[in-house]
C-alpha cells in the first residue's frame, strides 16, 4: 500500500474536481474510464451500501466523499462510526453508511488505481426526510370578532405540503397553505384545528385549540307559580365564555345568598334561586343578571301564587291563579253540557 501522502494527494485532486462538477479522471484518461452510477435514494435513518467494481489489475482503491477519504483499501480514514467496510476483494469494494442523515447527501467517488491507468466510479446519494412540523401557532384565546391567523411550518424532503382542518365541526374549515386566515372569528369557530404536513415519505399531524370569548346571552325567564308554604325554584341559564357570574335581584335590591330563606346555587351556565318556604312577600318580579369581562345580559321572572290540590294518587298538584280563573270562567259552560 502506498503511504498516506499518496492518498492525501489523490483525495485533494479528486475533491477539487468534484467541487468543480467534473468527472474524476487523470490526464490522458478516456471518458470510458469514469463511470457515473444512478443516484441512490435513501430515507433518513436507513442504511446505504456503496459498491465499487474492482478487477484483477487493481492495485489500490479508495472511497471518498465530498471532503475526505472514507476508506483506503482496508484502512478506515473516516472517524464516523456509522461508516464501515463490508467487502474488499478482487470483485468488489463495498462500504456501508448506517443511519443516513441529510449531512450524508452528496457525491461519493470510488477511485481505483490499476496497473495501466486510474478510473473512478461516482454516485450521488439523495436523502429523503419525513415531514416534521417545526413551527406551529400555540393555543390561543381571542375575543369574538377578532381576526385570527394560524401558522404551520414544516421541514422535510421532498418539501412537505401543508393543510389545515377544523376538527370541531362537521361543516369543517380547510386550507392548503401554511397560513390559515380566520377573519372576524365567531364562537362557532372555537375548537380544535389540525395541521397536516405530508410528503411521499410520511405525514406529521399536530393540533391546537382556539378559545373564543364572548359576552353572556341569557335565555328568556319563565314565570313560575308557587303556592304559599311550598318550595319554588327560578332557573337562569346563560351562554358565555368565560363562564358568567350570576346576580339575582328583587325589584332593585340585590339578593344575598342564605338570607330570608333563599338560596342561590350557580354551576357552570346555570343559576338557581330557591325558595324553601314561599311567603306572600316572596311574590313579585325577579331579575337574573349574567356578567363576564365582555359584558352582561339579564332576564326577568315573575313569581306568583298558586294553589296546591290533590290528584287521584294523592300527589300534590300546583294550579296557577291563572288556571283557576280560566276554570271559573268555563264552569257555566260545563254545566250546560
Q: Is residue 241 part of a domain?
A: yes
Predicted local confidence at residue 324, as pLDDT: 40
- In three-state secondary structure terms, 321 is helix
Predicted local confidence at residue 176, as pLDDT: 86
**Residue ranges making up the domain that contains 110:** 36-128
Please, which pLDDT band fits residue 10 given cuts at 50, 70 and 90? low
Q: Is residue 239 part of a domain?
A: yes
pLDDT tens-place string over residues 42-74: 999 999 999 988 877 777 889 999 778 999 999
Mean pLDDT, the chain, integer:
83
Task: State whether 253 and 206 are in the same domain.
Answer: no
Predicted local confidence at residue 112, as pLDDT: 87
Residue 117: exposed, middle, or buried by beta-carbon count in 10 A (0-12, 13-18, 19+)? middle
Task: State whether 142 and 184 are in the same domain.
Answer: yes
Please, which pLDDT band fits residue 131 given cuts at 50, 70 and 90? very high
Please, which pLDDT band fits residue 121 given cuts at 50, 70 and 90? confident
Residue 26 has pLDDT above 50, yes or no: no
Q: Where are the beta strands (DSSP E) in 65-147?
A: 69-72, 75-76, 83-88, 92-97, 106-114, 118-136, 140-143
Name the domain count of the chain: 3
- Which of 180, 214, 248 is the last residue before a domain boundary? 214
Report, as an integer, the average pLDDT of 84-101: 92
CATH code, 270? 2.60.40.10
- Which of 214, 231, 257 is the last residue before a domain boundary? 214
Task: State whether 210 and 159 are in the same domain.
Answer: yes
Count how many residues are written for the chain.
337
Which has more pLDDT, 287 or 11? Answer: 287
Predicted local confidence at residue 261, as pLDDT: 82
Q: Is residue 208 part of a domain?
A: yes
* Residue 28 Ramachandran class (φ > 0 left, ψ -120 to 50 alpha, else beta): left
Task: State whether 201 and 262 are in the same domain.
Answer: no
Q: Is residue 111 part of a domain?
A: yes
Task: State whether 68 and 120 are in the same domain.
Answer: yes
Amino acid at each position: 500500500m502506498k503511504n498516506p501522502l499518496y492518498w492525501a494527494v489523490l483525495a485533494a485532486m479528486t475533491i477539487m474536481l468534484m467541487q468543480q462538477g467534473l468527472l474524476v479522471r487523470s490526464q490522458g484518461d478516456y471518458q470510458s474510464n469514469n463511470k457515473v452510477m444512478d443516484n441512490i435514494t435513501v430515507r433518513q435513518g436507513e442504511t446505504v451500501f456503496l459498491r465499487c467494481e474492482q478487477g484483477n489489475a487493481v492495485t489500490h482503491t479508495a472511497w471518498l466523499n465530498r471532503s475526505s477519504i472514507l476508506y483506503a483499501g482496508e484502512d478506515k480514514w473516516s472517524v464516523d462510526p456509522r461508516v464501515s467496510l463490508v467487502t474488499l476483494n478482487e470483485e468488489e469494494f463495498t462500504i456501508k453508511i448506517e443511519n443516513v442523515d441529510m449531512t450524508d447527501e452528496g457525491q461519493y467517488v470510488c477511485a481505483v488505481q490499476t496497473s495501466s491507468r486510474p478510473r473512478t466510479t461516482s454516485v450521488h446519494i439523495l436523502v429523503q426526510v419525513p415531514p416534521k412540523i417545526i413551527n406551529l401557532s400555540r393555543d390561543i384565546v381571542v375575543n369574538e370578532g377578532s381576526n385570527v391567523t394560524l401558522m404551520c411550518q414544516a421541514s422535510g424532503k421532498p418539501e412537505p405540503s401543508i393543510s389545515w382542518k377544523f376538527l370541531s365541526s362537521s361543516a369543517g374549515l380547510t386550507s392548503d397553505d401554511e397560513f390559515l386566515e380566520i377573519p372576524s372569528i365567531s364562537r362557532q369557530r372555537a375548537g380544535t384545528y389540525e395541521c397536516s404536513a405530508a410528503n411521499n415519505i410520511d405525514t406529521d399531524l399536530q393540533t391546537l385549540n382556539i378559545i373564543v370569548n364572548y359576552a353572556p346571552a341569557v335565555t328568556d325567564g319563565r314565570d313560575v307559580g308557587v303556592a304559599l308554604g311550598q318550595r319554588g325554584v327560578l332557573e337562569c341559564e346563560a351562554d358565555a365564555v368565560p363562564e358568567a357570574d350570576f346576580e339575582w335581584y328583587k325589584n332593585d335590591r340585590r339578593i344575598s345568598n342564605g338570607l330570608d330563606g333563599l338560596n342561590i346555587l350557580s354551576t357552570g351556565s346555570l343559576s338557581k334561586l330557591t325558595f324553601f318556604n314561599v311567603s306572600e312577600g316572596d311574590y313579585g318580579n325577579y331579575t337574573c343578571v349574567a356578567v363576564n369581562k365582555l359584558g352582561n345580559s339579564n332576564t326577568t321572572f315573575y313569581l306568583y301564587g298558586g294553589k296546591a290540590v290533590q290528584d287521584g294518587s294523592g300527589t300534590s298538584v300546583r294550579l296557577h291563579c291563572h288556571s283557576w280563573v280560566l276554570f271559573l270562567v268555563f264552569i257555566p259552560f260545563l254545566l250546560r253540557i
